[in-house]
Amino acid sequence: MELYLLRHGLSLANTAKLVTGSKRDPLCAEGRKQAVEASRLLHHFGLDGDDVVRFVSDWERARETAALAAPALHFTTDARLGETGAGIVAEMPLEEFNQTNPAFWTAFSPDRAYPGGESHAQLFARVLAWQKELESTLPPEARVLAVTHAGPVCCLLHAACKVDLTNFPTFLAAHASLTKLEKIEGGPWRLVFFSLSSEMMA
């Protein structure tokens, strides 16, 4: 099975440097441009073909990225591909959050939840549950594309590369970049490439 992970383009929350932003957060102008350019990545790897199973997060910035990168293609929305639910601090400036919650990252624990939100351990569990469902419902030769976020991509790579979640986030994919994981039937997932951008294809 081949699993391609496309991170969304740059969003307004990203440019404002918020904790995560909300599900309503759209792409900024640069992010829309990135999403259109990502169509080159999808075409290069044949991800615009009829044999590909496609998913997208329920967050607006991911849905917008999918629509701009592949306007003629169908994506199944799955909330498990959404970014970490940061609760009441989601739209707080990250600098302010770090000042008022200094131990959140300096003494990081995957089990510590955002105020009113979820923990990174919960994020990891829901994203890995989605991946396990792929394994159980799709044929071993399936090719899958998911338009998602930095957090879910990072979780899948932590699992594939056997990096303890206490070191989160070890892998930070660039906006509108593509990452590929592969699973040979009966074997583990392995990382094929990470954070490939359309500029690298020039």
The pLDDT value recorded for residue 185 is 86
Q: What are phi and psi of 22, to 5 degrees?
A: -110, 175
Q: Is the predicted pLDDT of residue 127 greater than 90, yes or no? A: yes
Residue 181, amino acid: L
8 A C-beta contact, residue 89 and residue 138: no
Helix, strand or coil, per DSSP, at residue 182: strand
Q: Any residues with CB less than 8 A from the CB of 127 and at least 6 apart, and which?
A: 80, 81, 151, 152, 155, 156
User: How do residues 150-195 score in pLDDT, each as one tens digit?
Assistant: 999 999 999 999 999 999 999 999 999 999 999 998 899 999 999 9
Residue 202, pLDDT score: 61
- Average pLDDT of the chain, as a whole number: 96
Torsion from C-alpha of 147, 151, 156, 158, nearest 10 degrees: 150
Helix, strand or coil for residue 86?
coil
CATH of domain 2-201: 3.40.50.1240
Tell me the C-alpha distance between 136 and 144, whole Å: 13
Matching residue, tokens 């594309």? 145
Model pLDDT for residues 19-77, shown as the tens digit of each residue: 999 999 999 999 999 999 999 999 999 999 999 999 999 999 999 999 999 999 999 99
pTM of the complete model: 0.97
